[in-house]
Amino acid sequence: MLDPETGNAIVFNGEIYNFQALRKECEAVGDSFRSNSDTEVIVALYRRHGVACVNKLRGMFAFVIWDDANKRVFLARDRVGKKPLNYAIVNGGIIFCSEIDPLSRHPAVSREMDLEGLELYLQLQYIPAPWTIYKSIRKLPPAHYAIFDRNGFKTECYWDVDYTKKIAISEQDALDGLEEKLTEAVRLRMIADVPLGALLSGGVDSSVVVALMAKLSGEPIRTYSIGFREEAFNELPFAEQAAKICGTAHHSEIVEGDVTHLVPALARHYGEPFADHSAVPSFFVCRTARRHVTVAMNGDGGDELLGGYPRYYLSPLQIRMGSVVPDILSASALTVLATRLSTVTSIPERAIRKMVIEYGWPELRAVPIKNEFWNDCERTIILGKHASRTLLSCWRSTYFAKAVEQAANPVDRMLWYDNHTYLSGCLLPKMDIASMHCGLETRSPLLDHKVIEYCAALPVEFKVKNRVGKYLLKKLAERYFPASFVHRRKMGFGIPLGEWLRGPLRPALDATLRNPKLMAPLDWPLIETILNEFFRTQIDHSKRLWALYMYGAWRQHCLNDDIDYKE
């Protein structure tokens, strides 16, 4: 869109949920509008407020503005990272795109592989901002804007969550406040001039969102779920129970194990290796919903909002001790400790690790130190001479240091850490790519920044209470669903990965991982060993193998291109 008053131009991806109120604000000071779009409101805000316009926006967005008067490019991304923004600085100019793959194919963009990005991927199963798999392409981090002009490229953070500033509030008032904040966030996201529905997994988060939608809607909400024949991974009965309680028009679908045909699409759409295997059911549920609607709500962000993962389930004693002990060690020392704990094998060492994590530094639970990932020791072997001795430790210590600054107890520190790493780097890109590939727009009320700020200010006992995570959100859910539904065991949005890799996916897995060209520059003998152990023994290497499979699928997609790495 062009601004005829200034000569500015904008390219915008996303939705501004408060644009109608912002439009009235602009009209009150003399602005006139030629359309009814939120895009034009951003243009008007930038005309009056410059880069500070981002502080007024409530929604999901990635946009780039050409500022004609100042001869500069202004790039901005929303607070939590719902919408992606990738860029490359080349020959004195800038190229940008929502997706990595088309950007990598621009003739001015180098396709040299970033081995740091590869190393981060092997540990995290995704590549965090600002890295990508390409040296020349970078991701603008969430809650950042950037200026590109004759002086170069500079980024600034414009928002963060402070968990140290707590409000004094009773549990009842906190619960009422949460319901009010979430209801407003849902109401804003229900404003749409196209068919609207919801992705209903059957978990607490999406069920609460659907319950609030049903309360606000004058007609049945359309809801969509997928399930599996393997009962351990099938949440369809719970989704159908929630749909019945909320009176929705519900649609469900069973996903079978042969998803080989989907893997090339995953590689193409993500544009780089991405190993969160829940991308598979995400693609299927989005495709199911898109047959009927073009906008769908989801429950993303609930675990990172109020502590929903098992690692958050701390006792009052652990929270008290973890609020005092961490100050003894610096962030860098904590990182060394986390690295050491990731490789312990003996029984005494395991006992020490348990004591350290249980009562000293529970926030170390947020660091992937489980054996199913390519941990520090194994990563050194598989990357060989390409492995870095400091990359992961520096990355971890940076976030540990900031988490300690922004939060005073281990639960809030893990929340800050997860919001700035796992949520923005893995969960949100997974859903954005899965939904946008089929033309479905997903909206996440639990990630409204005002909801996030409210929950950050709540006392820790409203998040985790006597080892119960998401305490306040579950209390809210009890207003709409039976206690037996709310307090059942958490399942997550996973797939029977091991069974699929040993079954219908085995031919494709073998063909990909036993191809040294696709696995380069990784250590192929180690890959062969892991494959043999997986198929001939009961050792579960499924997550390691899936990460390699998705890396190989990306290499296969790029096979006709010149993907280089420096020897």
Per-residue HEC secondary structure of 63-91 comes to EEEEECCCCEEEEEECCCCCCCCEEEEEC
pLDDT tens by residue, 511-544? 999 999 999 999 988 999 999 999 998 888 999 9
Known binding-site residues for L-glutamine equal 38
- DSSP secondary structure string for all residues of 384-418: GGG--SSHHHHHHHHHHHHHHHH-SSHHHHHHHHH
- As a whole number of angstroms, the distance between CA 278 and CA 265 comes to 14
Q: Please give the structure tokens belonging to residue 195.
A: 């068919």
Please check whether the two domains, 9-157 and 183-306+425-455+481-486, share a CATH topology.
no
Least confident of 48-62, 128-142, 281-295, 485-499: 485-499
Stated as kind and residue range, the H or E segment containing 45 is: helix 38-49
Known binding-site residues equal 38, 199, 226
- As a whole number of angstroms, the distance between CA 376 and CA 363 comes to 19
User: Domain 9-157 maps to which CATH number in 3.30.559.30, 3.30.420.10, 3.40.30.10, 3.60.20.10?
Assistant: 3.60.20.10
pLDDT tens by residue, 118-157? 999 998 999 999 999 999 999 999 999 999 999 999 999 9
Residue 306's pLDDT band, with cuts at 50, 70 and 90, is very high
Torsion over CA: 396, 399, 402, 406 (sign) = negative
Domain boundaries, the chain: 9-157, 183-306+425-455+481-486, 497-557
Q: Are 480 and 214 in contact (CB under 8 A)?
A: no
Q: Are 299 and 207 in contact (CB under 8 A)?
A: yes
Known binding-site residues for ATP equal 199, 226
Residue 62's pLDDT band, with cuts at 50, 70 and 90, is very high
Distances (CA, A) of 491 to 201, 416, 495: 10, 23, 10
Q: Are 226 and 255 in contact (CB under 8 A)?
A: yes
Average pLDDT over residues 547-564: 81
Q: What are phi and psi of 228, to 5 degrees?
A: -130, 155
Q: How many CA atoms lie within 13 A of 260 on its CB side?
A: 13
User: At the topology level of CATH, where does 183-306+425-455+481-486 sit?
Assistant: Rossmann fold (3.40.50)
